[in-house]
Amino acid sequence: MNHKTQGYSILHRLGLLLFSVGWFWILLGFWGVFRGELEASSRPLTYSLVAFMGMLVAVIGSFHKYHDYLDLGRWERLKRAVAFSNIQGMLVAFLMFLTYFLVKDVAISRAFLAFFILSHWILAIALNYWLPDFLKWAFREEERYRQTLLIGTGHTLSEIREWVVSNVNSGFNITGVYTPGGGGGRKELGLEELQSIDNLEKYLSRNKVFRVVVVPGLRSDYWMQGIIDICQLQGCRIFIHNPYASHFNVPLVPVIESGQPFFSLQDEPLESPFNQTVKRLFDLAVSLPVVLFVLPVMTLVVWLFQSIQSPGPVFFRQERGGKGGEPFTILKFRSMKHRLPSEADEVQATRDDDRTYAFGRFIRKFSIDEFPQFVNVLLGEMSLVGPRPYMVEHDKLLGKDFRAYRVRQFVKPGVTGPAQCAGLRGEVVSPDLLQARNEMDFHYVGNWSLMLDVEIVLRTAIQVVAPPKSAY
């Protein structure tokens, strides 16, 4: 994400935060006028702060690929806006009603809270849909009139012809083209062509060119440095097209390793020792209390029901693929009827699976069977958040069928993950579903942040209380 797009993303988030607080106070004022009383007059600051915090948690982990969001068509943008607003609305609603019950507030009406949450959700959809266009209009209007010069050879320029045509009116006001050493005109682009390097220098000075887009080829060394020197002398911004981009379906990430510049196919925030430490501390802060105080009680309850409905071991153990593909033994509460190792199969659980006993269905639906994995987190085999681990045999098969599948193993597997908190859990019924899960895992690996982990944990907690239809 470049600085401009990152700025749009930040302004979008700030706009949503200001909206959450501002709309609460506006609605509160109108409520007092039309109802003749100020509902929530005893704690308006508390509720407005809660609305702010709910939206803050929702937006911190969102919009990491804002450049994609900016380029979406109208219908796709609307669908994405609804998805974002659903998450934002759920978090705000959850915290608002949680505050209402915790403080036992009798001064605020539930009707006011309900109307605020509903109207907040509807307006958030409109804002998420409309803000990108407003920001582009507000901050890019001036650039439409700033001239851009295109520099490259006949071959390289022909490869980006479609991009030139489609971006003439979107911030790249391309008015001329220069082909070092000749190489054929670019009349099909409808642009003025410069014939010599002397004309280039004069053109840049006379037309006050704001940006120069250089499209190098395999034999561009002889003219690149001279052209760049001229452009810098004239104070032009220089964009150099990546000639390798067409060979990859992901953006190349520049990295410095042992003093040498390289390109990587994946940004990896968790390669940083500091980020690894922060993530590990977060894992320990959450998993240690769960293992000490929650897991023993759960184990006793599960054991009692198992003793009645399906005698056998309390825990289910299975080999899964961990970080770097290294196998580890995952722990879960047993939710299926006990079978001897020779009778066991590796078929995924399905809805109404006859292998699952009654209480097993309950703990699967509410994800209670996953809680022993906090022990795996303490042992360092798993993280609280990360791509969900598959069986080793499935890893081998999926690694052959899906391109870049192993990227998800660059980090530790998680008790929960980005796909699971988005409702993409349960039985894999189609390759498209599996591909969607993998893409969300790839995005997590390349865009990790502590706040993203916090958001995923909070969204997972909501799904534990209110499981999606895919939970069984």
pLDDT tens-place string over residues 283-330: 999 999 999 999 999 999 999 999 999 999 999 999 999 998 899 999
Domain-located, residue 443: yes
Residue 259 lies in a domain: no
33 and 71 fall within a common domain: yes
pLDDT at residue number 31:
75
Strands 192-194 and 173-178: parallel
Q: Are residues 277 and 194 in the same domain?
A: no
List the structure tokens of 468: 């999606």
Q: How many domains does the chain have?
A: 3
Answer with the residue of higher pLDDT: 244 or 196.
244
- 472 or 47: which carries more pLDDT confidence? 47
Judge if 398 and 282 occupy the same domain. Answer: yes
DSSP state of 188: G
Q: How far apart are CA 40 and CA 347, in angstroms?
A: 54
Beta bridge partners of 333: 315
The answer to whether the Cα torsion of 194, 196, 199, 200 is positive or negative is: positive
Of 98, 113, 140, which closes a domain?
Answer: 140
Pair (302, 432) in one structural domain: yes
Q: Which of 247, 281, 299 is the last residue of a domain?
A: 247
Report pLDDT for 368.
93
Q: What is the DSSP letter of 391?
A: B
Average pLDDT for 465-469: 74
Residue 214 and residue 98: Cα distance in Å, rounded?
56
Task: Output the domain CATH number for residue 243.
Answer: 3.40.50.720
Encode pLDDT of 327-354 as tens digits.
999 999 999 888 755 455 556 666 667 7
* Domain around 172: 143-247
- According to the model, what pLDDT value does residue 197 have? 64
Residue 198 amino acid letter: D
Is residue 275 domain-shared with residue 239, that is, in the same domain?
no
For residue range 111-125, list pLDDT tens digits in order: 788 888 999 999 999
- Measured CA to CA, the distance from residue 364 to residue 350 in angstroms comes to 11
**What pLDDT score does 33 carry?**
64
Cβ-based neighbours of 14, under 8 Å, separated by 6 or more: none
Same domain? For 396 and 290 the reply is: yes
**In a domain? residue 80:** yes
- Are 177 and 222 members of one domain? yes
Band of the pLDDT at 40, cuts 50, 70, 90? very low
Same domain, 286 and 226: no
**DSSP letter assigned to residue 255:** E
434 & 296 share domain: yes
- Has residue 257 been placed in a domain? no
Same domain flag for 317 and 435: yes
Q: Does the residue 423 lie in any domain?
A: yes
Query: SS3 for 235?
Result: coil
Task: Give the domain-ending residue among 140, 168, 192.
Answer: 140
- Rounded-to-integer distance, Cα 238 and Cα 215, Å: 11
Q: Which of 244, 213, 283 is nearest to 456 (CA)?
A: 283
Residue 470 in any domain: the answer is no
- Looking up tokens 């001279």, which residue turns up? 226
Are 56 and 125 spatial neighbours (Cβ–Cβ below 8 Å)? no
Question: Do 320 and 423 lie in a common domain?
Answer: yes
Q: What is the tens place of the pLDDT at every residue in 43-64? A: 778 888 888 888 888 887 667 6
Whether 358 maps to a domain, the answer reads yes
Q: Could you tell me the pTM of the whole model?
A: 0.64
200 and 107 assigned to the same domain: no
Q: Where are the alpha helices (DSSP H) in 290-348?
A: 295-309
Is 344 part of a structural domain of the chain?
A: no
Beta strands in 267-312 (DSSP E): none
Which of 118, 136, 129 lies closest to 83, judged by CA? 129
